[in-house]
Amino acid sequence: MSSTIGDTVRLSVFGESHGEAIGCILSGLPAGEPLDREELLLQMSRRAPGRDKTATTRRESDQPDILSGLLEGRTTGAPLAMLIRNTSQRSGDYASLARLPRPGHADYTGHVRYHGFNDVRGGGHFSGRLTAPLVFAGAVCRQILKRRGVAVGGHIYAIADVADRPFDPVEVDAALLNQLAAVPFPLIDQEQEATMRERVEAARLDQDSVGGIVEVAACGLPAGLGSPMFDGIENKLSALFFGIPAVKGVEFGDGFGLASLRGSQANDPYACAGGRIVTLSNHNGGLLGGITNGMPLIARLAVKPTPSISQKQQTVDLVSGQEAELEIRGRHDPCIVPRAVPVAEAMLAFGLLDRMESERSWG
Amino acid sequence: MSSTIGDTVRLSVFGESHGEAIGCILSGLPAGEPLDREELLLQMSRRAPGRDKTATTRRESDQPDILSGLLEGRTTGAPLAMLIRNTSQRSGDYASLARLPRPGHADYTGHVRYHGFNDVRGGGHFSGRLTAPLVFAGAVCRQILKRRGVAVGGHIYAIADVADRPFDPVEVDAALLNQLAAVPFPLIDQEQEATMRERVEAARLDQDSVGGIVEVAACGLPAGLGSPMFDGIENKLSALFFGIPAVKGVEFGDGFGLASLRGSQANDPYACAGGRIVTLSNHNGGLLGGITNGMPLIARLAVKPTPSISQKQQTVDLVSGQEAELEIRGRHDPCIVPRAVPVAEAMLAFGLLDRMESERSWG
Amino acid sequence: MSSTIGDTVRLSVFGESHGEAIGCILSGLPAGEPLDREELLLQMSRRAPGRDKTATTRRESDQPDILSGLLEGRTTGAPLAMLIRNTSQRSGDYASLARLPRPGHADYTGHVRYHGFNDVRGGGHFSGRLTAPLVFAGAVCRQILKRRGVAVGGHIYAIADVADRPFDPVEVDAALLNQLAAVPFPLIDQEQEATMRERVEAARLDQDSVGGIVEVAACGLPAGLGSPMFDGIENKLSALFFGIPAVKGVEFGDGFGLASLRGSQANDPYACAGGRIVTLSNHNGGLLGGITNGMPLIARLAVKPTPSISQKQQTVDLVSGQEAELEIRGRHDPCIVPRAVPVAEAMLAFGLLDRMESERSWG
Amino acid sequence: MSSTIGDTVRLSVFGESHGEAIGCILSGLPAGEPLDREELLLQMSRRAPGRDKTATTRRESDQPDILSGLLEGRTTGAPLAMLIRNTSQRSGDYASLARLPRPGHADYTGHVRYHGFNDVRGGGHFSGRLTAPLVFAGAVCRQILKRRGVAVGGHIYAIADVADRPFDPVEVDAALLNQLAAVPFPLIDQEQEATMRERVEAARLDQDSVGGIVEVAACGLPAGLGSPMFDGIENKLSALFFGIPAVKGVEFGDGFGLASLRGSQANDPYACAGGRIVTLSNHNGGLLGGITNGMPLIARLAVKPTPSISQKQQTVDLVSGQEAELEIRGRHDPCIVPRAVPVAEAMLAFGLLDRMESERSWG
């Protein structure tokens, strides 16, 4: 079993970085939902490489070909299949990888898991390229959520040691989320962009890479979405977020910051506002007992530095069993955090729509 | 759907804090596994309240009654059902809760989710008391894992601002994990205990509570366990960890710490040691691409401060719709972090056994 | 994985025939549903042994103890756990079974599946006694369905070569279904009872048993319930029906009878009646493409003759590996078909409620 | 949720009869399995229309395009995606169908289920054309099973009132199963072919169609495969078999025939043969308690007559709500039973491989 998730809306992803194609099946969608193709392409372009001025090479067109489930621009209720043909299949760069696993990548673990039969070219099925179908699926779900009044968005919370301003967990709204989705380097505090780019450029010059943190939010959610224990929103979303390559941590609300708070600080007091029950603070990120309380949902994802770096690294030759040195060639992102933002949003949108379709009690 | 998890080994939990009983069904266990009842009770006692000298009141015996699936001390392969009768059913303390949701608890979200029909006494099905069946299930899995050479353990990584020494992610071994499991307040650096207890006591005197962080580890895992994308170890374990009440963040390896590292620091170099392939560092917590690499698996869980505090809090009367004040009476843990350690270990043990039973390729 | 089924409403069954208890967890139920305990007991008594005048011995009280998920007579939305203590634990009759597998039973296959660790007393987890929790679960679902206008019922379609009149697939209604549920030996044509009983008695006197066919129906279903291909009503119900011990065939509508019809006979023409779209015949049993069409749902289940017979049978000694003879002692039903009727109805009720809760499009 | 099935090996199907493409993702396959493309095409050709001399028109090439999961002819362990472009997209024949649902088809139920947004051209996602990916998936699984000593095959058990000889449930072997798979009209008793073809031709001349029964078998299965209650082989296979359009009944072993047997006839006595435990008869079709006993697995599927007939039929205009008459034009199979044989075999192969991969205890 692998690469499949969801309870009612289900996503099944296929493909390898250097294979013939990548794509997905998105099944269980509600019928009759119009899909705006331009909006789908826009979301996919946010993830595509070569978009940013700092990274000129290796452009991928990534034109999604919708093969089923759509008739006259609306979902039919049948499975929606999407295909992207791989055009750039340069596998020469990776020839030695089958013998020399790259540190920080899944080469070695995939080798053991699949007894050496896995496609190791470009990371194969483990490649970050597989996030293109994730963004596609999220972009479909996002359009449906929007018609239900739910907005989803995100920003670069941090790159290396440089932090953006966090979302105001009470005030964040659809306007801000939509605005962030329209820019290539989404930040709340634009003034951090230059410093962040400096960190990335410094790493690149050092043949190195940097990590960061992505913050995502959803507004307009009804209260009462989610279920106790293992079917809570945190459980479902974290299982999705950890499906994004390089994500090594997930937190909701104040997350790890809650560890050093007292209960009197972390408890969000209830109040009435405009006929609705709200909380005056939102340390819990809109979630209590795994269920939405109607406040903005806030999550953060730790993204490790791109493991593909050009520096000489120590590894082991899987054939000879001897220790060896490895130099990875080819073009690599010195920082994938900006491109991880739309992927994280996509997983959030998918997870929320699946919960809405799986539970009848929220409406 | 709710309160059920697992692919091959499945756990289904039931009960309410003040109902007749709590318990679980654990199905899909391998047959013929001997279960040591004393060891099961020992694990359950680690979670039980009133165990620590600092908390003398509200003792629960929590005797697990195994109803099926066990014959002459060995698993039969049929579902193993376990029951704990609730003896202390004082619900007077909670009489007003149906109207006045407690901040930080699931009272309000449960009310909306279940249209006011949820059992609100003591938190009902959302209560921390439901972690007793989790620990039971984990204790069963732990015994089976042990016979396969896998050890699971944990410690208090932090309470409030006081931190223990972290696990050495390369050197942590079964001996340390077993040793931590034998003490009531598990710490690597015992010298932190006094300060931590001071923080808890200070909060208690302030009618307040404190949060913290739990760190867990598993040693002896085979390489190659886990699957790509959504069936990775991180995905499966995070869905389990977030099933523990009060957990708001989960990270693996260096987790959020990876955000400020460079690739050259975060990538764990491979080497040969004693005929095995190892990594010289372990920033990735034993997991690459969602799959174990044979190094120790390391995870941390953020535990928010107990929401039950005696201070006056602001809430809303769900019947009148008016804002109101709330004072929670009754005995509460000013810090649940020590009791959360065995629960986190239990979810780790359950998740690892389920993966082992679900995948044939690791052995 | 075992003994668990359902997508949104989930059923997890535990217990062994001669163990301490049997029971189930029924999770994912809608909240706020009143449960009538007398009606639950009535349904369970329909399945209980010793109910019929022809079978005076081995009475079981089978009092279901509801442990959770119910508050003031209404479902809370949390998992509903039910327990029945086993009172009659005579295992002496079965002492040799661990060595001598009974033909037609699961003794041998269970032995291989569980490497000899399965509880073989009375069939253990494979016992027909495990249908008591199934009937309980179905009785809960039936009450909820009734409030939604859906009635479920069944009758003895055949015992040995004696057939009842089949349901009129167009005219069958709630009145008939409810009437059948009130009698111990449900038949449409009461005149067949005497002959059927003769067949059973003749078999009993020959130390033998007879099989039969159960027919079940549901009325009042909305059109549009079910999903294509593998999530159709037939797929979901057949997976449930084959969970009943001794069921070896399942058909919908005219079922195997359709094989010898022509399309012009089997196609059900559409017409308008009272503002609704109906079919004039119902050879498809209310299901087209796996989805309800609003006509009565009709299914039949083949029930093999009770494998427990007192005649001398040929088997193999699992310890010595030698061929051997076996005489099964103890009291056995010469025909389980009457008791299988409420079990089949229960699985139908559970399956339909699960589909209703899993799909939003039918309402 | 729809069109997805399997526990460890998972199949997700997409496409519409007149859409751009049909296909599937097959995930969870073991890695390193060589796939013989010629053998895949052979299996797919068995299902393809226009293969038989009696049906010359509407040939489809149905060339499967494998997009992922295969490297140098071997499975990689990553999801295997397959695509078939639709070449013949004549939708004119079906123009009025959106208004006039065809009796016996899913037009009406699909319309209600998807609120009128389903693709009704050629049956859309409900079309028998969707069985092409099923056969593909089964053909992959069949090759893997073969290397494990398991053979799968089937034959036309009956067309209309003309019956083939059934499988000898004890003696059926791989040689016979392989031989049946090599002929276009698989029969054990070749002498029935002429009469069966007469029945089909007579129906065709009457602008009508005929149904029939398919019988499938598997040999070489290990004993101990399957799990109790809802995870038994019958449960899993029936859920797959009912995914084949037009299947309305499924039985195992003697199935409905068991209803009129006595226990002394239906119980299969055990004996020793060549060091193995066997049964001397096989009325239970190789399955007891949902678990294989090592004897041949036997199942039969009732296939209703093709609902597409050219005779004038009565229906209802979904737009006007008035009763109406319908004449279906276009080319249709007067009997789909021969083409259903490889589809039934495919579902059998898929289901058995999934069980083998899901359970560790059979080996």
The string of DSSP codes covering A150-166 is: -EEEEEEEEETTEEPPP
Residues of chain D contacting residue B31, judged by C-beta atoms under 8 Å apart: 361
For residue A322, count CB atoms less than 10 angstroms from its CB and return exposed for 0-12, middle for 13-18, buried for 19 or more: exposed
Cα–Cα distance list, D25 to B179, D5, D81 (Å): 47, 11, 4
Give the residue with greater pLDDT, D164 vs C56.
D164
Q: Do C15 and B119 touch (CB under 8 A)?
A: no
CA nearest neighbour of D247 among D178, D154, D144, D122? D154
Q: Which of C105, C114, C267 sits opposite D313 (nearest CB)?
A: C267
Helix/strand/coil for C282: coil
C265 contact partners, CB below 8 Å, separation of at least 6: C283, D305
Residue B92: pLDDT over 90? no
Chains within contact range of chain B (3+ C-beta pairs < 8 Å): A, C, D
With CA atoms as reference, the chain C residue closest to D7 would be: C1
CA distance D8 to C35: 37
Point out which residues pair with B74 in neighbouring strands.
Answer: B34, B71
> Count of H helices and E strands in chain B?
8, 18
Q: What is the pLDDT of residue C88?
A: 65
In sign, the C-alpha dihedral spanning D215, D221, D224, D227 is negative
Q: What is the 8-class DSSP label of residue D146?
A: H
Six-digit token string for C309: 């017979």
pLDDT of residue D331: 74
Distance, in Å, from the CA atom of A163 to the CA atom of A90, rounded to the nearest integer, reads 36
Q: Is residue C81 predicted with pLDDT exceeding 60?
A: yes
3-state secondary structure of B298: strand
Angle of helix C337-358 relative to helix C131-147, nearest 10 degrees? 50
- Please, are residues C154 and C103 in contact by the beta-carbon 8 Å criterion? no
The CA-based diameter of chain A, rounded to the nearest angstrom, is: 71
Considering only residues C198 and D181, tell me which one the structure prediction assigns the higher pLDDT.
C198
Question: How far is it, in rounded angstroms, from Cα D141 to Cα D345?
Answer: 10
Cβ contacts of residue D286 below 8 Å, gap of 6+? D169, D218, D221, D253, D292, D293, D294, D295, D296, D297, D298
Residues 6+ apart with CB under 8 A from B251: A248, A249, A250, A251, A256, A302, B299, B300
Q: Which of D167, D164, D185 is nearest to D176 (CA)?
A: D167
Query: How close C232 comes to chain D (CA, Å)?
Result: 7
* C2 with B114: Cβ contact below 8 A: no
Question: Would strands C4-5 and B323-326 be described as parallel, antiparallel, or unpaired?
Answer: unpaired
In angstroms, the separation between the Cα of residue A72 and the nearest Cα of chain B is: 32
DSSP H helices, C122-273, are 131-147, 174-180, 192-205, 233-241, 263-266
- The answer to whether the CB atoms of B361 and D78 lie below 8 A apart is no
**Cβ–Cβ below 8 Å for D242 and C227:** no
In 10 A of CB A273, how many CB atoms? 9
Residue pLDDT, tens place only, A18-50: 999 999 999 999 999 999 999 999 999 999 886
Decide: C83 and C136 in contact? Cβ < 8 Å: no
How far is residue D268's CA from residue D259's CA, in Å, rounded to a whole number? 15
Rounded CA separation D205/D203 (Å): 5
**Tokens read off for B342:** 């065995």
Give yes or no for A3 touching B (CB within 8 A): yes
Q: Do D78 and B8 touch (CB under 8 A)?
A: no
The answer to whether residue A363 scores a pLDDT higher than 50 is no
Structure tokens at D23: 């296909």
Pairwise CA distance, residues C252 & D241, whole Å:
13
Query: Phi/psi of residue C144, each to 5°?
Result: -70, -45
Instruction: Count other Cβ atoms within 10 Å, centred on residue C102.
Output: 22
Cα–Cα distance between D267 and D259 in angstroms, integer? 13
C91 touches chain B (CB under 8 A): no
pLDDT at residue A98, rounded to an integer = 81
- Please answer whether residues B34 and B97 qualify as being in contact, where contact means their C-beta atoms are separated by less than 8 angstroms: no
Q: Which has the higher per-residue pLDDT, D184 or B40? A: B40
pLDDT band for position B51 (50/70/90)?
Answer: low
- The burial class, CB within 10 Å (0-12 / 13-18 / 19+), for B53 is exposed
Q: What is the C-alpha separation between D58 and B23, in angstroms, rounded?
A: 60
> What number is the average pLDDT over the span A105-130?
94
The single residue listed with the structure tokens 């493309």 is D37
| ipTM for the whole complex | 0.96
pLDDT of A266 reads 98
Question: Which of A8, A30, A361 is nearest residue C358 as measured by Cβ atoms?
Answer: A8
The minimum CA-CA distance between D52 and chain A, rounded to whole Å, is 29
pLDDT in 10s for each residue of chain D, 363 residues: 579 999 999 999 999 999 999 999 999 999 999 999 999 999 999 998 866 644 434 555 678 999 999 999 999 999 999 999 998 665 555 556 689 999 999 999 999 999 999 999 889 999 999 999 999 999 999 999 999 999 999 999 999 999 999 999 999 999 999 999 888 899 999 999 999 999 999 999 999 999 999 999 999 999 999 999 999 999 999 999 999 999 999 999 999 999 999 999 999 999 999 889 999 999 999 999 999 999 999 999 999 999 999 999 999 999 999 999 999 887 788 999 999 999 999 999 999 999 999 997 654
Q: Specify the pLDDT at position B98.
A: 81
Alpha-carbon separation of residue D30 from A75, C153, D234, D354 (angstroms): 34, 44, 23, 10
Counting as contact any 3 or more CB pairs under 8 A, the partners of A are B, C, D
Q: What pLDDT does B309 receive?
A: 95
- Cβ–Cβ below 8 Å for B361 and D77: yes
Average pLDDT over residues B109-130: 93
Closest CA to B97 of B110, B112, B107: B107
Q: Give the DSSP letter of residue D352.
A: H
* Residues with Cβ within 8 Å of residue B52, at least 6 apart in sequence: B184, B185, B338
What pLDDT, on the 0 to 100 scale, is given for residue B95? Answer: 58
B249 beta partners:
A251, B302
- Banded pLDDT at A332 (limits 50, 70, 90): confident
- pLDDT band at residue C55, thresholds of 50, 70 and 90? very low
What is the rounded distance in angstroms from the CA atom of residue C340 to the CA atom of residue C47?
7
C210 and chain D in contact, CB less than 8 A: yes
Query: pLDDT tier at B90 (50, 70, 90 boundaries)?
Result: low
Q: Which of B304, B311, B317 to mutate to test the interface with A (most CBs of A within 10 A)?
A: B304
Cβ pair D104:C259 closer than 8 A:
no
pLDDT tens, position by position, B295-346: 999 999 999 999 999 999 999 999 999 999 999 887 788 999 999 999 999 9
Q: Which of residues 12-51 of A touch C (CB under 8 A)?
A: 30-31
Q: Do D68 and A125 touch (CB under 8 A)?
A: yes
The answer to whether C193 faces chain A, any CB pair under 8 Å, is no
Contacts of B225 in chain A (CB under 8 A): 113
Q: What number of other Cβ atoms are within 10 A of residue C41's Cβ?
A: 16
Q: Do D360 and B360 touch (CB under 8 A)?
A: yes
* pLDDT of A331: 74
The rounded distance, in Å, linking the Cα atoms of B26 and B137 is 7
Residues of chain A in contact with residue D77, where contact means CB-CB under 8 angstroms, are 2, 113-114, 117-118
Residue D149 CB contacts under 8 Å (≥ 6 apart), including other chains: D220
Q: CA–CA separation, A167 vs A217, rounded Å?
A: 8
Is pTM beyond 0.95? Reply is yes
B-contacting residues in D 65-84 (Cβ below 8 Å): 77-78
- Flag whether residue B289 sits within 8 Å of chain D, measured between CB atoms: no
Tell me whether residues B110 and A289 touch, CB distance under 8 A: yes
Residue for token pair 């997805």? D4
The rounded distance, in Å, linking the Cα atoms of B267 and B262 is: 9
Q: For residues A108-122, give the mean pLDDT.
A: 94
Q: Which of residues 102-161 of D touch A (CB under 8 A)?
A: 113-119, 124-125
Long-range contacts of A258-261 (CB under 8 A, 24+ apart): A258/A283, A258/B211, A258/B248, A258/B249, A258/B302, A258/B303, A258/B304, A258/B305, A259/B158, A259/B160, A259/B211, A259/B212, A259/B213, A259/B302, A259/B303, A259/B304, A260/B158, A260/B160, A260/B161, A260/B211, A261/B210, A261/B211, A261/B304, A261/B305
